Structure 1
Amino acid sequence: MRILSPPNPIKTPALFNSILRLRFNSLRSHCFNSMAIPPPKSAMASAVDNEVGLARRFWIKFHRESVFAMYTPFSLSLASGNLKIETFRHYIAQDVHFLKAFAHAYELAEECADDDDAKVAISLLRNAVRVELKMHDSFVKEWGLHGAKKAAINSAAAKYIDFLLATASGKVGGVKGPGKLATPFEKTKVAAYTLGAMTPCMRLYAFLGKEFKALLDPNEGSHPYKKWIDNYSSESFQASAAQTEELLDKLSVSLTGEELDIIEKLYHQAMKLEIEFFSAQSLVQPTIVPLIKEHNPAKDRLMIFSDFDLTCTVVDSSAILAEIAIVTAPKSDQHQSENQIARMSSADLRNTWGLLSRQYTEEYEQCIESFVPTEKVVFDYNSLHKALEKLSDFEKKANNRVTKSGVLQGLNIEDIKRAGERLILQEGCINFFQKIVKSENLNAIVHVLSYCWCGDLIRSAFSSGDLHELNVHANEFTFEESISTGDIVKKVESPIDKVQSFKDILKNCRDDRKNLTVYIGDSVGDILCLLEADIGIVIGSSSSLRRVGTQFGVSFVPLFPGLVKKQKEFIEGRSSNWKGLTGILYTASSWAEIHAFILGY
């Protein structure tokens, strides 16, 4: 177990000590209701929020949805350059309907705006839509998409258009409706609501354009959809998206908090309808997303493995256990009864945890230095495995120091469980696991492999999401009448222990189905499992993991570009099979990416 996770910025003694100072100076044993709940925003954070406009805040808040749009089979195939022309023709046909609705919505918004500058800005944006419609005409000519403009609208496009025009007509947010807008202020609200329903679409297309543009390979020849990508990544379109956002900010200045909440809901709804639109594009070609696309429960088994600390959590579990120990520890002058397990005072615990933390971090750095090659080597799993035996010995010695120190004595199992239930998990983590285990169309099993000293903490953390089906493999506290003795039943202490548990689980699996294994982790302790799995996904930005992996020849590939490359190979006739021990690990910035890749929307 990492007493305090090394080199990664979120895993430093400074953070550990600051957590202790923030939490322990004022908390006492009766304060567990506030455990693991984030403190109020700092003055600096509030200042940043004030500087960021409304539209930008919404984009940041709902960025998860943009990831799902990017990972649709349609978007991946378009980015890969192998989207069938018939599918693109159908998409263009639907997009023409979209653009006409946009032009009409801008017209209605312009009528409602009570500011001359706003009217001019809306007029310019409406003209930009007309230019985009002309561009679609050029698509029709260039790709022979005749009939694209006359195709009937599909249900996904119709849902967004109906939603947009209803908003632009004043039928949402308690406004009276078309022809009944009594005051200029009511009209301004409608204009703001309309921009709230349009802005996410503009920003989403600008986002996709830039993402796809970055993937164009000049050595591969002409990308068939380069013109589409160039349009949405162009400075002019990026400027239009920014102008739409600025206009939304301007129109929203005088609105109340309740009215701003309405705009936020409209923004979010528009994002969801956009994902449905991209998801609804009918493909007549094989794709590698979502991963479960070809999953057959009768023949296949999806096995998801995940680390816990800082993969699923925001704070390392050792910090939480330290919090419980110090908060519940007796004061130096407090009498302890003879039948109680002897405990250190809270002051002594603080000092001891600090010493353990500093020693762990310093010696961890030295341990890494002792086995990392000075020059990069060709990937060799066995050499990496051998080198990590040194780290395994180090982790076990560190755990022995913890148990001998007595800092874990006297913790109450109920306090641990309450803390677990209130533990903050990474955004999207719980939702991903819920969808995995609750799906009736998946034959899937989830295993959590963790250095955590106390498996009860993990089980409690997931119980809040009703995830009792997760299999937890971790160390365990020993208890006497619900009070910890300070000893640990050591099951998973090191990278070697983790990968052995991984192999044992697979070995004990019935051979009645084909297993597809995915491992999700964040640290050096996960690297062997990440490499052994058919698909290894790194979440977070651990510098120590990157350094060790890179020096041992491991390649870290951003997930979406990696999928684009694999989609190209798939269409070219090469196998789409995933297999481990290739030396390639995929990196994801969020659980949304993992969810979108494996499960889709």
Structure 2
Amino acid sequence: MLSLLFSTFPVKRPLPVFNIFSLYHFAPCGYAGSSRFSSFAAVSLPAWRSKLRSSMSVSRVASSSLSTLDSEIGLAKKLWNKCRRESTFAMYTPFTVCLASGNLKVDSFRHYISQDVYFLKAFAQAYELAEEYADDDDEKFSIAELRRGILKELKMHYSFVQEWGTDSTAEITPNPATVRYTDFLLATTSGKVEGQKAPGKLATPFEKTKVAAYTLGAMTPCMRLYAFLGKEFQKCVHPNEESHPYLKWIETYSSENFQASALQTEELLDKLSVSLTGEELDIIERLYHQAMKLEIEFFNAQPLVQPVNVPLIKDPNFTKDQLMLFSDFDLTCTVLDSSAILAEIAIVTAPKSDQPQSETPMGRMSSADLRKTWEILSNQYVEEHEQCMERIMASGKAEKFKYELLEKALEQLAEFEKRANDRVIESEVLKGLNIEDIKRAGERLILQDGCTTFFQKLIQSDSIDLKVHILSYCWCGNLIRSAFSSAGLDMLSIHANELVFSDSVSTGEILKIMESPINKVQAFHSILKECEDKRNVRVYVGDSVGDLLCLLEADIGIVIGNSSSLRKISSHFGVSFVPLFSGLVMKQKECREGSPSTWNSRTGILYTVSSWAEIHAFILGW
């Protein structure tokens, strides 16, 4: 567990103690006011927080509001960044995965093209109206140029129609999702924005420019999303894969010309929005977000008559299988590591140096001595951890993945972690913590963006047989339970170490249940053994070396974050990393009628994601 003190802490420099606890509105039990608390306000956290950060850093933080994003970034870029969750869901729809893989049925592609033709006609009409509203000649020219690009795109779609043998003269019947999108777009171009009064005559240049900005706000996300999808799909196409039936589509939207058109649209939105008020910018944000959701619905509405491996819970195999989801906690689910939180609770609630020994509860160290002890422990940990890693890496690099070889090597890490935890117990640095303080900190613990929503949606799903287990090195399972309980997730099974309490105050002892990668994988197997009567599809989500064995034992091991130590150890023992979306596309290429899913354990392949939104999109869908 001590390893978490030095692992991926998501800040660039040590935070003051006050800043840590202001995140939790923390007030220690049994302490009146904040005098003890404020005495630490100017004291930086121990230097160990940053010692391993450079080699094990992540950048996953909770999403920011529009007003807090970098002021130097243009409006369009800010809006796209805020909608990355939606762009992820659009990429992971069954239709887009099939399209990227190249095994999308021809009839489905024909239907999509017909719907897109209907939509693009409305898109061209919206550009035409926006051009009329623009007050500046340069703006009019830019909009006209973008409209010509859409007309060119329409010609490409007509060529698809001819190439795939569809009657180009047949009347297109739009599906409801297409109609919702086009109605939204054309309503916006007429100034009919939800929550706003219907416009009268657009008399002034400013009123017209405002509607032009609203129109671009509703159109820009489509351009940027297709540019994004084109580039992502291109990554999944082998350089020599000329047989991909939809290669022309991918090449069009990944081309420099289309990327330039998307950028031009964004720059125009930025320009049209310069003179708008904060309230009007909020309207554009709502329009942008609504357009992104309509894009997802548009893709999800495309009919498919073939097996698809996404979302996972809709796999036909789940009619008889049980989904077993396992996850690490610290820095997989959380923004702050739990060991740092427990250490700070200990320091903040410790007696002052000048307090008489007779008044010191349970013979606790003073806050100053406690801080020094933590620093000694952490320095020793860093030094010995580096030595342990060097010993593990000293063996020759594996030519191919062998699970048993890796497991044997990680036994060294297991012994090291146990010794480190023993030193924490012997030093009594976790002595005197009030259980209510710990629970309160857990309730206010910040989880990774999208993590809570995913688990909430997952447990609400009644379409599958589901079990969720959290496996953690955390010293205190109560902290984890409080964090999830505050989000209504009491049914998650927590497997972690436990602090020993006497009259609600910690004794400094730790009930050691899970200290190492070996302990984690043993718990993993024990849980599976209890469910032997059912076939289990096992998914494990983790971020560090401590999760490595479980990640490999799972049918689908998902790595979140970018721990360099995890990658170094994995690479040394023949483990490879594949972006989850690319892996899905490869699996989809193998997908055939009546064939089962081909996820297997111990393949030596782990799948990487950048956010919980990807995990959500893969397992649950939109």
User: How does the TM-score come out when normalised to structure 2?
Assistant: 0.90
Distance 1:548 1:3, change over 3 A: closer
Distance apart, 1:442 and its partner CA: 2.1
Distance apart, 1:264 and its partner CA: 0.7
Distance apart, 1:574 and its partner CA: 6.5
Distance apart, 1:46 and its partner CA: 9.3
Q: Which residue in 1 is equivalent to 2:525?
A: 503
Distance apart, 1:164 and its partner CA: 0.9
* 1:366 is the counterpart of 2:390: no
Q: Which residue in 1 is equivalent to 2:454?
A: 432
Q: Read off the aligned partner of 2:522 and give its amino acid letter.
A: Q
Q: Read off the aligned partner of 1:88 and give its amino acid letter.
A: F
What is the 5 A alignment of 1:443-482?
443-482=465-504
Is the contact between residue 448 and residue 612 of structure 2 (CA under 8 Å) also seen in structure 1? yes
Q: Read off the aligned partner of 2:320 and give its amino acid letter.
A: K
- 2:403 aligned residue (357, 381, 384): 381
Q: Which residue in 1 is equivalent to 2:90?
A: 69
Decide which moves more: 435-444 or 170-179.
Answer: 170-179
Decide which moves more: 53-62 or 182-191.
Answer: 182-191
* 1:441 is the counterpart of 2:466: no
Distance 1:27 1:351, change over 3 A: farther
Q: Which residue in 2 is equivalent to 1:87?
A: 108
What is the 5 A alignment of 1:395-410?
395-410=417-432
Q: Which residue in 2 is equivalent to 1:189?
A: 210
Distance apart, 1:132 and its partner CA: 0.8
Distance 1:280 1:148, change over 3 A: farther
Q: Which residue in 2 is equivalent to 1:2?
A: 2
The Cα RMSD (Å) is 2.7
Distance apart, 1:570 and its partner CA: 1.7
Q: Read off the aligned partner of 2:271 and give its amino acid letter.
A: K
Is the contact between residue 175 and residue 190 of structure 1 (CA under 8 Å) also seen in structure 2? no
Q: Read off the aligned partner of 2:413 and give its amino acid letter.
A: L
Task: Find the residue that maps to 1:447 and give its secondary structure.
Answer: strand
Q: d(CA) in 2 for partners of 1:117 and 1:398?
A: 66
Q: d(CA) in 1 for partners of 2:399 and 2:358?
A: 59
Is the contact between residue 173 and residue 259 of structure 1 (CA under 8 Å) also seen in structure 2? no
Distance 1:24 1:520, change over 3 A: closer
User: How does the TM-score come out when normalised to structure 1?
Assistant: 0.93
Q: Read off the aligned partner of 2:592 and give its amino acid letter.
A: I
Q: Read off the aligned partner of 2:2 and give its amino acid letter.
A: R
**CA offset digits 1:253-279 (Å, max 9, x no partner):** 111111111111111111011001111
* 1:209 is the counterpart of 2:230: yes
Q: d(CA) in 2 for partners of 1:339 and 1:586?
A: 51
Q: Read off the aligned partner of 2:185 and give its amino acid letter.
A: L
Task: Find the residue that maps to 2:467 and give its secondary structure.
Answer: strand
Task: Find the residue that maps to 1:83 and give its secondary structure.
Answer: coil
Is the contact between residue 435 and residue 504 of structure 2 (CA under 8 Å) also seen in structure 1? yes
Is the contact between residue 436 and residue 442 of structure 1 (CA under 8 Å) also seen in structure 2? no
Is the contact between residue 318 and residue 464 of structure 2 (CA under 8 Å) also seen in structure 1? yes
Is the contact between residue 65 and residue 271 of structure 1 (CA under 8 Å) also seen in structure 2? yes
Q: d(CA) in 2 for partners of 1:326 and 1:505?
A: 36
Is the contact between residue 93 and residue 148 of structure 1 (CA under 8 Å) also seen in structure 2? no
- 2:268 aligned residue (241, 247, 267): 247
Q: d(CA) in 2 for partners of 1:576 and 1:173?
A: 44
Distance apart, 1:211 and its partner CA: 0.9
**CA offset digits 1:165-188 (Å, max 9, x no partner):** 111111116655355224322222
Distance apart, 1:22 and its partner CA: 5.0
* 1:414 is the counterpart of 2:422: no
Q: Which residue in 2 is equivalent to 1:123?
A: 144
- 1:172 aligned residue (172, 193, 209): 193
Distance 1:597 1:297, change over 3 A: closer
Q: Which residue in 2 is equivalent to 1:317?
A: 338
Distance apart, 1:571 and its partner CA: 3.3
Q: d(CA) in 2 for partners of 1:570 and 1:103?
A: 37
Q: d(CA) in 1 for partners of 2:5 and 2:254?
A: 40
Task: Find the residue that maps to 1:50 and give its secondary structure.
Answer: coil
- 1:570 aligned residue (591, 599, 608): 591
Distance apart, 1:47 and its partner CA: 10
* 1:591 is the counterpart of 2:588: no
**CA offset digits 1:146-198 (Å, max 9, x no partner):** 24862200011111111111111111166553552243222221111111111
Unaligned 5+ residue runs, structure 1? none
Is the contact between residue 453 and residue 474 of structure 1 (CA under 8 Å) also seen in structure 2? yes
Decide which moves more: 220-229 or 398-407.
Answer: 220-229
Task: Find the residue that maps to 2:577 and give its secondary structure.
Answer: strand
Q: Read off the aligned partner of 1:2 and give its amino acid letter.
A: L
Task: Find the residue that maps to 2:365 and give its secondary structure.
Answer: coil
Unaligned 5+ residue runs, structure 2? 42-58
Distance 1:47 1:316, change over 3 A: closer
Q: d(CA) in 2 for partners of 1:419 and 1:253?
A: 42
Is the contact between residue 113 and residue 187 of structure 1 (CA under 8 Å) also seen in structure 2? yes
- 1:556 aligned residue (566, 577, 582): 577
- 2:601 aligned residue (580, 584, 592): 580
Is the contact between residue 4 and residue 357 of structure 1 (CA under 8 Å) also seen in structure 2? no
Q: d(CA) in 1 for partners of 2:569 and 2:436?
A: 39
Distance 1:245 1:575, change over 3 A: same
Is the contact between residue 342 and residue 409 of structure 1 (CA under 8 Å) also seen in structure 2? no
Q: Which residue in 2 is equivalent to 1:329?
A: 350
Q: Number of matched residues?
A: 592
Is the contact between residue 540 and residue 558 of structure 2 (CA under 8 Å) also seen in structure 1? yes
Q: Which residue in 1 is equivalent to 2:510?
A: 488
Is the contact between residue 5 and residue 340 of structure 2 (CA under 8 Å) also seen in structure 1? no
Is the contact between residue 522 and residue 541 of structure 1 (CA under 8 Å) also seen in structure 2? yes
Q: Read off the aligned partner of 1:491 and give its amino acid letter.
A: I
Q: Which residue in 1 is equivalent to 2:326?
A: 305
Task: Find the residue that maps to 1:135 and give its secondary structure.
Answer: helix
- 2:257 aligned residue (236, 251, 259): 236
Distance apart, 1:576 and its partner CA: 2.4
Q: d(CA) in 1 for partners of 2:253 and 2:16?
A: 44
Is the contact between residue 93 and residue 149 of structure 1 (CA under 8 Å) also seen in structure 2? no
Decide which moves more: 201-210 or 97-106.
Answer: 97-106
Q: d(CA) in 2 for partners of 1:9 and 1:472?
A: 22
Task: Find the residue that maps to 1:445 and give its secondary structure.
Answer: strand
Distance 1:587 1:148, change over 3 A: farther
Q: d(CA) in 2 for partners of 1:213 and 1:222?
A: 14
Distance 1:285 1:492, change over 3 A: same
Distance apart, 1:573 and its partner CA: 8.1
Distance apart, 1:360 and its partner CA: 1.2
Is the contact between residue 3 and residue 417 of structure 2 (CA under 8 Å) also seen in structure 1? no
Q: d(CA) in 2 for partners of 1:299 and 1:572?
A: 18
Task: Find the residue that maps to 1:49 and give its secondary structure.
Answer: coil
Distance apart, 1:508 and its partner CA: 1.3
Q: d(CA) in 2 for partners of 1:331 and 1:70?
A: 55
Q: Read off the aligned partner of 1:506 and give its amino acid letter.
A: L
Is the contact between residue 113 and residue 191 of structure 1 (CA under 8 Å) also seen in structure 2? yes
Distance apart, 1:145 and its partner CA: 2.5
Distance apart, 1:335 and its partner CA: 3.7
Q: d(CA) in 2 for partners of 1:281 and 1:537?
A: 28
Distance apart, 1:218 and its partner CA: 2.7
Q: Read off the aligned partner of 2:597 and give its amino acid letter.
A: S
Is the contact between residue 558 and residue 587 of structure 1 (CA under 8 Å) also seen in structure 2? yes
Q: Read off the aligned partner of 1:394 and give its amino acid letter.
A: F
Distance apart, 1:48 and its partner CA: 7.3
Q: Read off the aligned partner of 1:111 and give its amino acid letter.
A: E
Q: Which residue in 2 is equivalent to 1:226?
A: 247
Distance 1:283 1:109, change over 3 A: same
Q: d(CA) in 2 for partners of 1:28 and 1:600?
A: 40
Distance 1:458 1:48, change over 3 A: closer
Decide which moves more: 344-353 or 409-418.
Answer: 344-353
Distance 1:205 1:164, change over 3 A: same
Q: Which residue in 2 is equivalent to 1:269?
A: 290
Q: Which residue in 2 is equivalent to 1:294?
A: 315
Q: d(CA) in 2 for partners of 1:571 and 1:485?
A: 59
Decide which moves more: 349-358 or 427-436.
Answer: 349-358
